[in-house]
Amino acid sequence: MTKKALQVGLLGFGTVGSGAVKTLLRNGEAIERRAGRPIQLAAIADIDLETDRGVSLDAFPGLVLTKNAEEVVANPQIDVIIETIGGMKIARELVLKALESGKDVVTANKALLAEFAEEIFGAAAQRGARIGFEGAVGGGIPLIESVDGPLAGAQINRIWGILNGTCNYILAQMESGAGQFDQVLKEAQRLGYAEADPTLDIGGFDTAHKMALLAAQCFGQKVDYEKIPVEGITKIDEIDITFASLNGYQIKLLGVASRSDKQIDVRVHPALVPQDALLAHVEGVFNAAYLLGDPVGGVMLYGRGAGDLPTGNAVISDLVQLARGENAGVERYEAFCRPGLPQRDTNDIEAHFYVRCAVKEQADALNGVLAALNDAAVPVNLAERVDMNGKKVVALTGKVSRRAIDAALKAIQSAPFAAGEPYAIPIEEVGE
């Protein structure tokens, strides 16, 4: 006897939504076989139903097209709501209504889940509904399922992630000599690798949303997105890229998370990554995450982190799991609401740092920078004065707290030899 089809309502028919539909059409037979039952697209809601998405809907008999998303959520025949609208306000309202009516939800909306984690995952746990969100973290990379499935027997204690393709592409282009940050960003926008308003990407906020979800999944507790210190790549200069390369490093925008007996640490910032680390070789628009756990050791997952088909495939993978009756335990969702260890103050983080200071013509500028670092108890392993887009002093420090580095930078900025705001980037020894 053929099992009843899973009836699906899709909210949003843009990039991710159309990618999910394309995946269903391309691999329908294999998807149905793995799901153990047919998956039927019953309705699509979008404010724009006229634009050609490059996909035929003729294969879905009885498909309802509507501009009224509420109508789809309220339809008693629909089992699962896929939310690919994006944004916060409307998406939040629709997702909560779906969960409160007992419908399961699949979404790739990392901002929504990260900033309203307790409310949304709490609603799922309370109503006995399920949420699939593989596409929210890493696009086509199966990060969430790997932690919840093959790595379920491991305690993941540290995470390093390159989770934004726009930033990774820009930094790789700068390393190849394509120019300064603003110039490379404009080219990335022209090629479609960066949004017209790239703030979420280049500001590090997109990575922070993903890290909040991934860290909560790995550590089994609530992560407060508002407490994650976030720094993007807008201050990166060509000299930073060049100096890093000459000294055996590459600069990457990293999401970093760790867990100890007393606290968790979740942060996003540029970092110097040793060139022999696997993450240093993640190029272009690709993403990767390196997880360190007990007893498995280091595990790296790599792939396309965005785009219609990779993320659309992740959405369909969630549908398959729901069709099979998986992910029904409330424990999966309670982890995102569960109080746990406090989040560490970023000022307490200790690392080796790269420091860059724009200076004036004064002959004693190098000595002035070294004196300011010494006064803040920052040990220096290497320092030199260079001429590149203006005169600068660059240095590599010993291991020291972020608090001490910031004190030194404040002193340098107010010194008479300073010609601009000084800058520091931590060095991350991935895998330690």
- As annotated, the active-site residues are 210
**CB atoms inside a 10 Å sphere around CB 281:** 13
Question: Which of 266, 305, 281, 276 shows the shortest CA–CA distance to 432?
Answer: 276
Whether the upstream peptide bond of residue 61 has omega within 30° of 0, thus cis, is no
Which residue type, as a one-letter code, is found at position 27?
Answer: N
**CB atoms inside a 10 Å sphere around CB 395:** 22
Question: Which of 13, 30, 9, 20 shows the shortest CA–CA distance to 309?
Answer: 20
**CB atoms inside a 10 Å sphere around CB 204:** 28
Question: Which of 56, 59, 53, 27 shows the shortest CA–CA distance to 41?
Answer: 59
Question: Which of 88, 174, 159, 97 shows the shortest CA–CA distance to 129?
Answer: 97
- State how far the Cα of 338 lies from the Cα of 112, in Å rounded to an integer: 18
Note whether 290 and 218 are within 8 A (CB). Answer: no
Contacts of 425 (CB under 8 A, 6+ apart): 240, 251, 269, 270, 271, 272, 353, 354
Q: What is the secondary structure of 61-104 as a DSSP string? A: TT-EEES-HHHHHH-TT--EEEE---SSHHHHHHHHHHHHTT-E
- State how far the Cα of 177 lies from the Cα of 174, in Å rounded to an integer: 5
Note whether 310 and 20 are within 8 A (CB). Answer: no
Q: The tokens of 228 are what? A: 């994650």
Note whether 62 and 85 are within 8 A (CB). Answer: no
